[in-house]
Structure 1
Amino acid sequence: MKKSIMTVLMILFISSVNFASEDLQVLDIYDYELVDNNIDPFFKAVIKGDLETVAKMIEDGSDVNLRIGGKTPLMYAARYNRADVIRLLVGKGAVVGAKDNQGNTAMKLAELANAKEAMEVLKEMS
């Protein structure tokens, strides 16, 4: 009986280790490591705060008011405290008062994230 219980416990332990070792698709706001390959490149550049790439992609035709998951690039820039990207997006026609599927604006998302620079820039540009 002891051997059966030990065998079952070992199988459970080994299988849980296998599940825990699988790669997770994570967006980490601290190291900005974006491992999800399904993210639109324009949104990825906005989240990273890559101003040059964002400017180039807008120049090449990326829509500053495109919505993915109900959110615009401006909302992501606000959420991740990307003040320079916010200025660029608004300067290129991003709608500051747009709301996501939950009714949040870029300002609200900045407030929720405590993104102080983003809040200041959004106040200036509203």
Structure 2
Amino acid sequence: MKKSIIISAIALSFSIGGAHATTEPLHLKNNRVEAYFKVNSFCVSIALGDYETVKKLIDRGANVNAKSHGMTPAMYAAKYNRVEILQLLIENGAKLKTKCDKGKTASEYAELHGAHDTKAVIEEHLESKKRKK
């Protein structure tokens, strides 16, 4: 009887632990396990602020409007306050009114993350487009 109770308890603990299993790769950051999302190298370069790499990738044909993990390159630039990169993206045809998979625009990402400089660049660009019409 004791064996069957112990075996049942062990089986129950494995089934509860398995309910939280994930197939996504995980990594450790600040002593916390976080899900690792695959973002293309173009958007990683933008997030890191690597202007030269971003410029080279654009020169080699990188799509400035292609989404990576649901966000456009302009959204990454806005979120991480990468003003020069955002301007480069705009010069190469980045669409600032596009919405991510969560329904947010680059401007909303800038506002959400306190990126006042990129928010100003976006507003200025959108305002100048209105005046030209």
Query: What's 1:80 paired with?
Result: 80
**Larger Rg: 1 or 2?**
2
User: What's the CA shift for 1:75?
Assistant: 0.3
User: What's the CA shift for 1:39?
Assistant: 2.9
1:14-29 alignment runs, 5 A limit: none
For 2:49 and 2:98, how far apart are their aligned partners in 1? 20
Question: SS of the counterpart of 2:43?
Answer: helix
For 2:86 and 2:68, how far apart are their aligned partners in 1? 17
Question: SS of the counterpart of 2:63?
Answer: coil
User: What's the CA shift for 1:69?
Assistant: 2.1
**Aligned-CA RMSD value:** 3.5
For 1:119 and 1:65, how far apart are their aligned partners in 2? 18
Deviation readout 1:41-92 (Å, 9 max, x if unpaired): 1011010111111010000011000112221000011001111111000100
Q: Counterpart amino acid of 2:112? A: L
Is contact 2:39-2:68 (8 Å) kept?
no
Deviation readout 1:9-61 (Å, 9 max, x if unpaired): xxxxxxxxxxxxxxx956x8xxxxxx87x431101101011111101000001
Query: What's 1:15 paired with?
Result: none
The unaligned stretches of length 5 or more in structure 1 are 1-23, 29-34
Query: What's 2:100 paired with?
Result: 100
Q: Counterpart amino acid of 2:60? A: D
User: What's the CA shift for 1:102?
Assistant: 1.8
- TM-score normalised according to structure 2 size: 0.67
Identity %: 37
Question: SS of the counterpart of 2:99?
Answer: coil
For 2:26 and 2:40, how far apart are their aligned partners in 1? 15
Q: Counterpart amino acid of 1:102? A: K
The unaligned stretches of length 5 or more in structure 2 are 1-24, 30-35, 127-133
Query: What's 1:56 paired with?
Result: 56
- TM-score normalised according to structure 1 size: 0.70
Question: SS of the counterpart of 1:44?
Answer: helix
